[in-house]
Structure 1
């Protein structure tokens, strides 16, 4: 069997210690794992370029090497669609739902476009450094299985480059009316879809149901489907800023406990909630209660600041936003600092009515989060969706999971122009290299020119 070696040379690593952070390092990888990490130029073995098998040298030139990035929550079927949407006037959640439902109705007649947009999302994400993502595709009576078919096709096409968890997602209500005692056609379609290979997650948006009681039943149905098919569960949940509305996270946790979905018995299967803006109104006592629950139950939280800041403005009667920017989404740094609960960040949507602004690059998302809360980037998204590899670090000194460790996975993003890891968050550069399993999966470079370039030489010839 061929031995595949890769040497990543002359890179900065994300050490907290100032001396280690300034040092340039070489990272040697063997068959997709980190074999050694030493100060640059100090390898005692033969250089990888002369060893047997497939060998590669990646020149870092002083850039910063970080763990590869992850979309913990992104919609694969509704991206890059603003040119197909009606104008946005209010920026409200109800408007976004109406506009997107109208656009979505055309998906079955636009299969080539659906595939092209999804492929663009994955390609540009990989170029930015993403190697794992949880991708939602909708299943309902409007689109049938076309979004799922496209998602599974794209998942297969990008196998080995980007690990795509496909979420069979019910954005629409499972119950057709407030009087319905049993779920309707949307539920039957969802259940039928789960028999297909390649689905990792089943999800829904309980708050779209016609009543609170139906929303609670939605949660029960999704958890039962996840149990039956051995899947993760993922809910769009508690997407409001109403102190008078009881958070549904408590019902979710209660049902998890009722069916025995605990950390001990669930293996790697997790329940995740996205948005969860209502949790931002929690008291210290509520956060303490949630922390106790999360010690036993495998539930993760994903904040989606680009969407939340846009739609959670709660406009006053004259249309003026009444909620400050930083109160429209979860303050993940404060939540960790004060309550010891990790909250992941993710992009959610790209260029659609839910998120008309922003880009799919997780580092620009982290930069936004720094502006709101002065928070740094971490590997939390991979933990939340259950794809975190080798959480234990035998070297014992890796900082916040951002430093490679011997024996760990060789999945990285190199930020070429960042001379310290903080720069990768505060001002992430365009030029990047994505490494998956020790192999270069993508390289993104830009060119620069201004009218002044070469001016000096031209003046010398006049």
Structure 2
């Protein structure tokens, strides 16, 4: 259980928990997440599966079974994920060998490779991590997913763009857009909270680097984890007056990055019920609703964009196009007359909300007309509980 709730503790708790994993527990928690996700209206997801010396292949074994068992409900895209160092530390080489072994053994089920270069012990190891991920993804025809720059520090050295700029330059150097599989081009970049501390001249250079080279990069805001982990007051006040109640939001401003910079972006649920994100149940619509407040995004157009960020833009970030799943059930569904795309989400309205009357008797209930959800704006501002996935 979290005590301080900080990033260092979350990493330590996660490492300790891995030693207690059992296939039964992993399957239970995974199936709970998938069932809740389906209830919320999720039709596809990228599932990050950590493989290292602590988990070995227990996690990926269970992930493949869950993917199969829930295939009729959710398109699960498995991303094998190196959360721990793979080029530094006592277990680095062992973690890397297990990762490669899993890529060999489960090649038919793995569609993406993810790493966290910022956990490496030094910059040289982080660069090796990045190069390994890019080269491996190209060789094995995988999507690529980096978790980067998960801090709010503002040092000007080594490079103003930190690891984000390194990743972009290495994608260019490796000729990603030419050599990566045409159907596996999308590169997701998650967290990257340091972007929020950069000067506009630095961010402008990063935007130009992406757009001038047509890099298929998608920034994935993960606000549920970011808000919990980032922006905590410093333990020391050496760098100025103490402001314990001044907390940076510490998460990428995805709507602004889309509208003002013209970049690809979306929102995602990063963790559910662990030391990085103790609360929440992984509801994408609730995430979009929080975005209204978090991003000061209160217009009707903002609501449309936030909905896109947890639906079609999120699908594009993991390389899934809207045309991937054919409307094979449309003719058989009685609800296809509602013009809901297949697969899609049907929202239901109730006519009244009933509450007990003064007597508490059944016939004495008070019936109040329910607020009706008639547009995307209504769904984002007040996420409904009655949802049904059409397939």
1:420 aligns with 375
Rg (Cα) greater in structure? 1
**In 2, Cα distance between equivalents of 1:143 and 1:320:** 41
8 A Cα contact 2:85 2:120, kept in partner: yes
Counterpart of 1:257 in 2: which secondary structure?
helix
Q: Which residue of 2 aligns with 1:224?
A: 135
Q: 1:370, CA displacement in angstroms?
A: 0.8
Establish whether residue 372 from structure 1 lines up as the match of residue 305 from structure 2. no
RMSD (Å) for aligned C-alpha atoms: 2.4
Matched, 1:284 2:217: no
Counterpart of 2:164 in structure 1 is: 249
Q: CA deviation at 1:415?
A: 2.0
Deviation readout 1:59-98 (Å, 9 max, x if unpaired): xxxxxxxxxxxxxxxxxxxxxxxxxxx3x22221111011
- Alignment match, 2:314: 381
**Contact (CA 8 Å) 1:346, 1:381: kept in 2 or not?**
yes
Deviation for aligned residue 1:206: 0.8
Shift of 1:238: 0.9
Question: Which has the higher relative contact order, 1 or 2, with Cα contacts under 8 A spaced 6 or more apart?
Answer: 1
SS at match of 2:176: coil
- Residues 88 and 125, structure 2, Cα contact 8 Å, conserved in 1: no
Distance 1:128 1:202, change over 3 A: same
* 8 Å CA contact retained: 2:48, 2:81: yes
2:177 is the alignment partner of 1:262: yes
Deviation of 1:204 (Å): 1.1
Question: Displacement, 1:265?
Answer: 5.7
Change (3 A) 1:171 1:243: same
Task: Give the aligned partner of residue 81 of structure 1.
Answer: none
Say which SS state the counterpart of residue 413 (structure 1) adopts. Answer: strand
Alpha-carbon shift at residue 266 of structure 1 (Å):
4.2
Per the alignment, residue 102 of structure 1 pairs with: 16
Q: Does 1:215 align with 2:148?
A: no
Query: Which residue pairs with 1:138 in the alignment?
Result: 50
Q: Normalized per residue, which structure has more helix?
A: 2
Answering whether residue 254 of structure 2 is matched by residue 332 of structure 1, we say yes
Query: 5+ unaligned residues in a row in structure 1: which ranges?
Result: 1-85, 392-403, 437-462
Partner of 1:126: 38
Q: Quote the Cα distance in structure 2 between the aligned partners of 1:408 and 1:434.
A: 10
| Map 1:293-442 → 2, pairs under 5 A | 293-295=209-211, 296-317=214-235, 321=244, 323-325=246-248, 327-373=249-295, 374=297, 375-376=302-303, 377-378=307-308, 379-390=312-323, 410-417=342-349, 418-436=373-391
Normalised by the length of structure 1, the TM-score is: 0.67
1:205 partnered with 2:127? no
| Number of equivalent positions | 330
Alpha-carbon offset, residue 288 of structure 1? 2.8
Q: Please tell me whether the aligned partners of residues 135 and 166 of structure 1 are also in contact (alpha carbons under 8 angstroms).
A: yes
Shift in Å, 1:263: 6.7
